[in-house]
Every structure is written in C-alpha cells, then in structure tokens.
Amino acid sequence: MDIPTIAETLNFSTEEVLYTDIDVLFLKQPEPRGLTFAPFAVGPEFDPNDYITMNTGVMYINLPNMAETRPALMEYVKNHHIGSTSFDQDSLRRFYAGQWGHLPIGYNWKPYWGVNTDATIVHFHGPKPSMRDTDYAELHIAQMKVGGYDYYCGVFDTYLGMFK
C-alpha cells in the first residue's frame, strides 16, 4: 500500500513496478511491460482459474493509479480493517473489487499446482521450503505440500547452494 509513496520519495522514473513477497523464486526474467491494468495486475490465490480471489504475493503495480487512489484506500483501510484475515490483501481485494488486471498465471505460480516449466515466478504460498520436513497433518497447509512442492524445494536448494 505504501509503494506509490516510496516510489515518489525515491524519484522513480517508471510508472510500473513489479512487487513480490519474499517467498518467491524467479525462474526467468520477468517481462510484464505492456500489460494493460489499473491499479495493478495480480494472479489467482488458490484456484489457478479464479482471478476474483486474487493473491497479492506478486503484483505488477501502476504507480500513478495507485498514488491517485491511495488516500481513499487508506481511509477505507482505517474504517474497515476489523475482521480482515489477511489485512493488506483483503483490503486491496475489497477496495479495488473488479478493477485489477490479470498477471499471466506463470508470474504467481504456486507449487501445489504442479510443475510448470513455463513459470517465471514461483510463489511458495503456504508451506515454505524450510517447512518441508514439518508434519502438518492436522492443518490445511499439509494439503499444499503436493503437486510440484518437492520439485520447487529442490530448485530452491539449488539456488541456495549458489550462495554457500
């Protein structure tokens, strides 16, 4: 929510910013420039075909639009944050309902969707690679350790090995 303000403070010379959570792997050079979107483009959260239930772990942000709408967004958050389960994401989903663009699915690929050799950014949405040996039998997170989870944990290990 503060990215437009930070970009202005730092005098960014671009109108577009790619934001990601920290729990992602970049498998290819992202090249989303030219997407038509306002205020941002995002991918689905759990169901790869459901862009209504979007996920803000990877966002391609239209800085001028977000800056313009930020005061109203912050007022909305101030008055509607109670009862929110994922504060920023829920607030963005409700405030900008139906206004966001769609990132290509491979820009916020989830390991539990399987292995996607065309994915650009893999988002460890749910269990992180450091959690692979943890038993979550009673939690919904255990259901997310399927599909390509082990494969992408291996890719993570390869990248991590480059820094040892």
Peptide bond connecting 39 to the previous residue in cis, omega within 30 degrees of 0: yes
Domain count, the chain: 1
Half-sphere exposure of 121 (CA within 13 A, CB side): 24
Is 62 strand, coil or helix?
A: strand
pLDDT score for 119: 96
DSSP symbol at 163: T
For 146-156, the pLDDT digits (tens) are 789 999 999 99
Q: H or E segment at 54?
A: strand 54-62
Mean pLDDT of the chain: 87
For 108-143, the pLDDT digits (tens) are 999 999 999 999 999 999 888 988 887 666 567 777
For the entire predicted model, the pTM comes to 0.86
pLDDT score for 3: 86
Task: Note whether residue 110 is domain-resident.
Answer: no
pLDDT score for 80: 77
- Domain, as residue range, for 74: 3-19+39-105
Task: Note whether residue 158 is domain-resident.
Answer: no
Task: Note whether residue 146 is domain-resident.
Answer: no
CA dihedral 43, 57, 7, 69 (to 10 degrees): 60
Is 87 strand, coil or helix?
A: helix
The answer on pLDDT for 86 being more than 70 is no
What DSSP string describes 14-46?
-SEEEEE-SSEEE-S----TT---SSEEEEESS
pLDDT score for 84: 60
